[in-house]
Amino acid sequence: MSYRKIFEDDFLLVVDKSFGVSFHNEIHAENSTLSEDKDITVKGLVTQIKEQGDYKELFPVHRLDKMTSGLLVIAKRLDSAQQLTRLFEQKDIEKYYLAISDRKPKKKQGWVIGDMEKSRRGSWRLTTSKQNPAKTYFVSKALSEGRRLFLLKPFTGKTHQIRVALKSVGSPIVGDLRYQASEVAEKYDRGYLHAYAMRFKLAGKLYQFECPPLSGKFFTEALFTEALLEYKEPWGLSLPSL
């Protein structure tokens, strides 16, 4: 299953995206029986939801990387999409992510702030300049010897922001084929990044969602489940705001 429905009303749809599912349609080359390359289209998440739910129109207002599972909000009306887009642009949507790393960070919690610039082969890196910086705050706790849980609150929405932020503090996400050493990342059953919780107001109504991860060996073991209790209702934690 590529997603499961979390919530729906007249204005929006909230789903839990599965790990490994692309947000957009993808074109793949496939060898035919005639030894010629054929292009096939693999339907992305929004296309699948639209077809399976028989929606006439859906309006994506944000996205998740292919390796990231978790909460995704999709507007069902143009006016709702415009309002949600403004909320994202004005940073009026609280978002919280969960990640696991097998490396101890340079600091247990704090800000990661810096401009992001393109690196090699579609990757990004954090710089020391702060002209238009990515801003992320995180807290972390040990799960076991050699494994650590991170709760992250991004205040901006840059490409690969959380993945780059954790790499910059010495704790790349396990299973991240782009930012963890490939020979190490390939050993894991998934990339361990999950969009965990979200809160915002739309048309005077408060929406808040919490969605623990349901797949992945490290996300479903007892150590993780027990540790996650400390991060329940993360908007109630003493985390900073801009």
Q: Which residues are catalytic?
A: 65
Cα separation, 207 vs 28, in Å, equals: 38
Identify the DSSP state of 226.
H
Cα separation, 2 vs 70, in Å, equals: 11
Cα separation, 51 vs 156, in Å, equals: 31
Cα-based distances in Å from 129 to 7, 99, 119: 40, 26, 15
Closest by Cα among 237, 184, 231 to 212: 231
